[in-house]
Structure 1
């Protein structure tokens, strides 16, 4: 049995929530969760096989990360539309085709976020980047072999990027 939900803090569609709940073994706990609307992660593949990535400054870590473009679902939009929008906003590309690779749960211990993975192909340049106020992004492109080496060397540490690339490789897309 769950008791009343208590919202502790909200920010940009994300909230910190507390709820007294009963676990499957009967133990009653007060659990704190970050409630997140979900996100799309996009693996954009150019016609020459290069992968479009973003070099993004992450204020939480106070450093730059090399990542696949991604972003939060806004106003209950369909996840594929979120992927299309985020690809355009962060990279300036439009995809002719979006292929779903399924979902990952990045922080299940304390967050309900679901990240929806996509491959974007048939890319064409559209317009300039339209980043959010808190985003500082540089668009970069690499062959997959170089990206694999960057993961091995520790130059790419972003979990959603590694998960999406791994799923795409396991499914035979790269």
Structure 2
């Protein structure tokens, strides 16, 4: 049996009885999340389009890849296509799926679907959600990697997507 404690947008805090593989029954609280798409946009020069986004929960700016929550009746790919345009004003002709990551498995069921976006073109000024403050930034792969090593970029989805793309030969 599960009980929803709180709901915000499409995210809920749910408490439920869970039976562990040991047979022990526990009460577990999970953040229920519809999933998200993370996009690694690579331009013709091999540079990467990122966003510098103010994150109120941390009260600071984070340099990260464009990403967003999957809407109702939307596939992860459709979410990636929509979020790339909304957050950066960039359209991509090609989206290559890189698989998925589970960012917070200890207390959240969110799955993040990773994509490489290529054949980019500017389509419009980005249209952020009302709670988003975003600046678009383009960096070389070398500079991006230096910023990860220095600790300037700490966003997990950005580091995971970049790593997966590099391991798969897209960078």
TM-score normalised by structure 2 residue count: 0.99
> What is the DSSP-based 3-state SS (H/G/I as helix, E as strand, rest coil) of the residue aligned with 1:81?
helix
Query: Equivalents in 2 of 1:83, 1:37: separation in Å?
Result: 14
Q: Is 2:107 aligned against 1:110?
A: yes
Q: For 1:52-71, what aligned pairs fall within 5 Å after superposition?
A: 52-71=49-68
* Structure 1 runs of 4+ with >4 Å offset: none
What is the number of residues matched between the two proteins?
Answer: 171
Residues of 2 paired with 1:170 and 1:129: CA distance? 30
Partner of 1:94: 91
* Of 1, 5, 10, the match for 1:8: 5
Normalising by the residue count of structure 1, what TM-score does the alignment of the two structures yield? 0.97
Alignment-derived partner of residue 25 in structure 1:
22
> Cα offset for 1:76?
3.1
State the distance in 1 between where 2:136 and 2:118 align.
17
- 2: CA distance, partners of 1:80 / 1:13: 18
CA distance in 1, matches of 2:18, 2:167: 37
**1:8-50 Cα shifts (integer Å, max 9, x gaps):** 0000100000001111110100000000000000000001111
RMSD: 0.5
Gaps (5+ residues) in structure 1?
none
Q: Hey, what does 1:141 align to over in structure 2?
A: 138
Q: What secondary structure, in the 3-state scheme, does the structure 1 residue paired with 2:126 have?
A: coil
Alignment partner of 1:73 out of 51, 70, 75: 70
